[in-house]
Amino acid sequence: MTQPRPYLIAGGWRTSGDTFEVTNPYDGSVLAEVCRTPDDEVEEAVATAARAFEDTRKLPVHVRAEALAHISARLHERLDEVAELIAREGGKPIKWARGEAARAVSTFRWAAEECRRFDGEVLRLDTEPSLGARLGIVRRFPVGPVLSITPFNFPVNLVAHKLAPAFAVGAPVVTKPATKTPLGTLLLAELFLETELPGEMLSVIAVGNDKATELAGDERFKKLSFTGSSAVGWMLKSQDPKKYATMELGNNSGVIVHSDADLAHAAKRCAIGGNYQAGQSCISVQRVIVHSDVYDAFTTLLTQEVSALRYGDIMDPDVDVGPLITPEALDRVAAWVDEAVQRGAEVLCGGKREDPFYQPTVLANTEPDMKVVCDEVFGPVITVTRYDDFEQAIAMVNSSAYGLQAGVFTKDVGRIMQAHRDLEVGGVIVNDTSAFRADQMPYGGFKDSGHGREGLRYAMDELTEPRILVLSDVSL
């Protein structure tokens, strides 16, 4: 095996004698050993980020933008390598890993473009006689150093969504990737070091979740950007309630299929949307709510589409569904499906484990309080339920504790606008599923799905505060 992979402290690679293994979820092979970051060097990373902010916040736009463009270009040059890394460390089928790698290219490119046009505004303040001749200039300034914590399921592009907007606004970042998938973050750190950005602007720490809890309460971090489970996210935020926080948390996405929908298209998109990452995505399709008039026809089509999905070798370009990230995750998904079946749910397809996979599954006759309905499965499981009128469907989607994204299949403009108004989610995707995301769009949710928005310009807003300068007695 090669030498253990180092971690990054303030732009410099470090090693330690304490290591952990990164394994391929598909076959269990060891991909790398990574050095664990000791506490004193974590402290060094935090202290350096706090000191560096005084300089990084003043970096010229061209330095920031050119660095982001460089990372984007280098990711594009190494696209196949990045895709293979994503596939092997996270168990994501190569077809989807290639998509994630390409998205990371565009995430950094969008950040470079937004960095150049992230301007303020000018306000005339002579609007009342008592105000006099005044002019307001509003600019946005970074709030301070950022603590970034990322999950396993998008080991490159979700990290890109933390780093790119922070670099764009001039904020130093200490980032903690998931210990299951740290290699993508370390690759991005390599590309960061090729830029003209100060090394003190980035540290990548290889530590466990217990250390993340401690760091979330550190007042030197002025911003927490977290993607992960709802329980962990709210716990981390509670460590320092005054800290700015963007929380991208869980979901159990609902998709409405109305009677006028293109059923074949809806079935195909729901099948992919619930299984493309073995369901391990917070916007994965979980609850499909179908109008009674087309329920039987749609359910037949959906079952056919899901049954046709292939699971197996993640490097096979024809494989659609990969393994669950850990045996524990597989145990949990299997237990939840078994519990639903014992209570009367009907398995239309799948419903069995084939370690390290769980078969792509469709369940009917479920109840609202079953875990596969009311909680986040985070596995390849879709439930189907009937509704009779559109208002009922909206209420069923909204009955969830979550509110990240939802899909609506219909041709009726009135219903589309009603869904946009009434669905309690951060994004309504029309004639596609909740699983759609473009990296430049505002992305985030309500309720237990968190708060704040990512999507480059929106994330840059979240990392900054507006500050007004009022010029008095000026010629207008």
At 128-140, the pLDDT tens digits run 999 999 999 999 9
SS3 367: coil
Q: Are 217 and 358 within one domain?
A: no
Q: Which run of H or of E encompasses 133? A: none
pLDDT for res 2: 80
Q: Are 197 and 262 within one domain?
A: no
pLDDT tens per residue across span 241-257:
999 999 999 999 999 99
Q: Are 354 and 233 within one domain?
A: no
Q: Are 317 and 371 within one domain?
A: yes
Structure tokens at 227: 């993607």
Contact residues for 337 (Cβ-Cβ < 8 A; gap 6+): 345, 347, 351, 358, 361, 363, 372, 381
In a domain, 475, yes or no: no
Total number of domains constituting the chain: 2
In a domain, 320, yes or no: yes
In a domain, 1, yes or no: no
Q: Where are the alpha helices (DSSP H) in 309-377?
A: 327-342, 371-374
Active site (annotated) includes residue 194: no
SS3 1: coil
Q: What letter does residue 131 receive in the DSSP assignment?
A: G
Give me the amino acid identity at 353: R
Q: Are 264 and 342 within one domain?
A: yes
Pick the catalytic residue from 114, 248, 376, 454. Answer: 248
Q: Are 41 and 79 within one domain?
A: yes
Q: Are 117 and 178 within one domain?
A: yes
pLDDT band at 98 (very low <50, low <70, confident <90, very high): very high
Q: Are 207 and 349 within one domain?
A: no
Mean per-residue pLDDT, 375-394:
98
Looking at the DSSP bridge assignments, the partners of residue 354 are 357
pLDDT tens per residue across span 250-297:
999 999 999 999 999 999 999 999 999 999 999 999 999 999 999 999
Pick the catalytic residue from 100, 282, 305, 349. Answer: 282
pLDDT for res 404: 98
In a domain, 96, yes or no: yes
pTM of the model: 0.96
Active site (annotated) includes residue 248: yes
SS3 387: strand
In a domain, 324, yes or no: yes
The yes-or-no verdict on residue 1 having pLDDT over 80 is: no
In a domain, 422, yes or no: yes
d(C-alpha 203, C-alpha 319), whole Å: 36
Tell me the CA distances in angstroms from 36 to 231, 337, 360, one per residue in order: 25, 36, 36
Q: Are 212 and 290 within one domain?
A: no
Looking at the DSSP bridge assignments, the partners of residue 224 are 147, 245
Q: Mean of the per-residue pLDDT values for the chain? A: 97
d(C-alpha 101, C-alpha 447), whole Å: 30
Give the structural domain span for 416. Answer: 253-438
The yes-or-no verdict on residue 458 having pLDDT over 80 is: yes
Q: Are 298 and 382 within one domain?
A: yes
The yes-or-no verdict on residue 190 having pLDDT over 70 is: yes
pLDDT for res 73: 98
Q: Are 212 and 289 within one domain?
A: no
In a domain, 474, yes or no: no
CATH of the domain at 144: 3.40.605.10
CATH of the domain at 375: 3.40.309.10
Q: Are 322 and 337 within one domain?
A: yes
In a domain, 321, yes or no: yes
